[in-house]
A and B are shown apart, each in its own frame.
Chain A
């Protein structure tokens, strides 16, 4: 039937492979409880130009009071600082659980590319890691105690996750940052956080020109901008109306974007690009301080018009800031201009992108429809 296997020709290669198991031993283990896992890394710049790196590690063990360890160290390179941190703890410092990297505004203004290098090069670090810029010192931000959470490292991660879903901060990972950085036609933007009265807050968008921080947007402005990026569903926005109620105050309305569709039209006008955005937004009113009956179509249309106008002015102001104040292109208009082939004769270069973007005329037409007003009685 079958040949008995001791009658078969022995297979030296197979046996050698089998023996190699015992001979070569095992892979280098990273046993969970021996690891100091970085959850959050904070990067600051010291006065003498060195990097001050702060890590928050979960302090896990039976009966430990302090749930997080915060360790800082200095170094010229971030991994050198990590080695210095390792000297001060019995755990093996590893970066495979790193979820958030915080840069101080001071460092970010000088450029963060050389710090990002290790975060991108280290294969243990996930490409979905979130970057953010802190208003003040990154180390101070991380040392602050979140009131409800055992660890500020985890708190920051979850705060950013939640805020990204609310469109209060942009949804960019290190992967996006890297891609946009190399893209000649868009500038990266990442979440901006702020330490206020000992509490960490999501504070909108940090705008980058190449890898340098140039300015920030408030959460309100972030939501507006994200509408033009095609996202923005679920974001809330406030609008002050012209009408006055009985209390003699301006009526205010709070709107949630249910759907947002945008279309961009590009053409050449008088030697400069002309970009027209048509944004169709459907919204739901979730709070209204006036006395009018919103279910009345005429009144609703009036309010729609007012919100549209408000949105348009605010977004125009925003774009003006991008073009003239910060000289950044977070909307990726350069890519659009390039794709529309508005400069058929010139090769697409960095300089052409900057020049054409800053000279571009950008119009935004909002078309708002209130589809739900809620039931109040």
Chain B
């Protein structure tokens, strides 16, 4: 039996016979740069077929007295900067001793190159490479100016209160949005590059005095272990560094709101920026944190608590209402309140399908509508809303395909799934609904509870960066409950969440310690204002 299963598993997960082939990197010689003619030729050979790479030779004339070869990608650079860089190179040509190898110099960031391979990678990064005939030296100047989107309002995580700006696809802008809010030397940022083809910039950010070393090192090690041809986005990146890549649940926060990342960093989390992605990852994440919105802290504690509780009820409705309908209508007629018995039976009696198929039909329809609405442009998307709301909702009942009560239950569970602030978590929970419906259709409530149990078991096994996923419930951390079902008033939040294992767990001083802000009497009004504006950004 065991052996049979093993062979089945092997068959199912058969790997390709041939070993994975490295992406064909062009054979770029690691030769030292030394002779002008050969260098230019080799550079041209390296970029053969890449018509967007310009390699030109500036003949001596009025401006220059020796030939200078210049290589750049036109679409990635700003041509004005290149002009200015050229004048800098001129100065270096006369006095080459001003710049030694491995040094960066000048207002333009100039690097002296050693090998052709270096030159190639600098060109690809949007720098301009100059090769000077007179000195037989090569320089790269940072002229990188890619097309960038402006900072705009967040579309996926909208809030009413709170800052509106969102991250963009450019890592420079994203890091500047972060620095703008965290003006501290404590904020450490390291760069690495991931992906064989696209060599994406990945930045890891953390607060040195808060985030534990283990998390930072773990993230760094995981990123180093990645060997992949192409990184698409933050989402697939997250799945490469997950604790459990097979889990349907996200193990990192994915947000496009800078102030959320700042508050995560201040809680001791590690943030990971991906170039080309407006979503920034942060971890370790716990289950309950996916239901915290940054707006919760802008709201007063009572309204925030009500909304928080509502969200968690929403989760329960979203995953189990349709399953409950199936279970009750198929197996547990005893549970129906007497007053609901007649309307429920009446609406069911016109439906030709068993409850399980009826529910699967409606759930699939709603998911189709949702997906169609997400894929279509907004103007056509409205049509989808009308088609879905009127045609399918009303007509399906009239045609006798579904019962009224199921329509309400399906609609309610879909709406409830949308109040989860994290889109990735809400899609995971929506997907969980289907197996639960199947279990309910097979075994009723018994099957549903088997499903719940499997979910809880899975959650208990899950971890994010090694930190348990169900914290503060399991393991129990009562001190962290202040920010779970309820959002306690801000003065209660004296400690950072313990599951991030922060090096420094205290957020605010206690009553007996100094409470007044330490503004020295000699401080100028400007300094005081600055302090005040810093404080408002901290949450």
Contacts and interface: CB of A to CB of B under 8 A. Distances in A.
Interface of A: 1-2, 5-6, 10, 12, 15, 21, 25-27, 29-33, 35, 37, 39, 58, 60-62, 67, 94, 96-97, 99, 124, 126, 154, 157
A27 B444 contact: yes
Nearest to A39: B338
A26 B5 contact: no
Contacts of A154: 338
B12 A6 contact: yes
B404 to A, nearest CB: 13
Contacts of B257: none
Contacts of A25: 442
B342 interface: yes
Interface stretch (B16-24, B192-200, B347-355): B347-355
Given A27-B331, A27-B442, A35-B333, A58 B341 contact: yes
Nearest to B447: A27
Interface in B1-36: 1-2, 5-6, 9-10, 12-13
A2 B244 contact: yes
B393 interface: no
B330 interface: yes
Contacts of B355: 31-32
B240 to A, nearest CB: 9
Nearest to B444: A27
B345 interface: yes
B442 A6 contact: no
Contacts of A29: 330-331, 354
16 contacts: A2-B243, A2-B244, A12-B2, A27-B442, A27-B444, A29-B330, A29-B331, A32-B345, A32-B355, A33-B345, A35-B333, A60-B345, A60-B346, A60-B349, A97-B341, A126-B334
Contacts of B225: 1
B510 interface: no
A374 B447 CA distance: 58
A6 B334 CA distance: 44
Contacts of A2: 243-245
A12 B336 contact: no
A124 B334 contact: yes
Contact of B336 (A60, A62, A97): A97
Contact of A27 (B1, B246, B334, B443): B443
B56 interface: no
A27 B338 contact: no
A27 to B, nearest CB: 5
B5 A30 contact: no
B342 A60 contact: yes
Contacts of A5: 246
A21 B333 contact: no
A30 B330 contact: yes
Given A1-B225, A6-B10, A97 B444 contact: no
A31 B246 contact: no
Contacts of B13: 6
B222 A1 contact: yes
Contacts of A12: 1-2, 5
A10 B338 contact: no
B254 interface: no
Nearest to A151: B342
B398 to A, nearest CB: 12
Interface residues of B, number: 41
Given A1-B222, A2-B243, A33 B349 contact: yes
A124 to B, nearest CB: 6
A61 B5 CA distance: 51
A341 B175 CA distance: 83
A27 B441 CA distance: 9
A5 B348 CA distance: 44
Contacts of A58: 341-342, 345
Nearest to B443: A27
A159 to B, nearest CB: 13
A277 B115 CA distance: 108
B334 to A, nearest CB: 3
A126 B330 CA distance: 19
Interface centre among B241, B331, B350 (most CB of A within 10 A): B331
B329 interface: yes
A61 B331 CA distance: 20
B343 to A, nearest CB: 9
B446 interface: yes
B49 to A, nearest CB: 38
Contacts of A39: 338
A96 B349 CA distance: 19
B189 interface: no
A30 B443 CA distance: 11
Given A10-B5, A61-B346, A157-B338, 10 more contacts: A1-B243, A2-B245, A27-B447, A30-B332, A32-B328, A58-B341, A60-B349, A61-B349, A96-B334, A154-B338
B227 to A, nearest CB: 12
Interface in B447-491: 447
Nearest to A153: B338
Nearest to B345: A60
A21 B222 CA distance: 38
A61 B346 CA distance: 6
A64 B489 CA distance: 58
Given A21-B442, A26-B441, A94 B333 contact: yes
B412 interface: no
Given A6-B13, A58-B341, A60-B345, A96 B442 contact: no
Contacts of B441: 26
Contacts of B350: 62
The 6 A-B residue pairs with the shortest CB-CB distance in the complex, in nearest-first order: A96-B334, A6-B13, A26-B442, A60-B345, A33-B349, A33-B348
B441 to A, nearest CB: 7
B351 to A, nearest CB: 8
A29 to B, nearest CB: 5
Contacts of A126: 334
A26 B333 contact: no
Contact of A32 (B5, B222, B348, B447): B348
Contacts of B334: 96-97, 124, 126
A160 to B, nearest CB: 12
B12 A31 contact: no
A67 to B, nearest CB: 8
A31 B330 contact: yes
A15 B341 contact: no
Interface centre among B334, B336, B443 (most CB of A within 10 A): B334
Contacts of A157: 338
B108 interface: no
B173 interface: no
Given A26-B443, A27-B446, A33-B345, A96 B5 contact: no
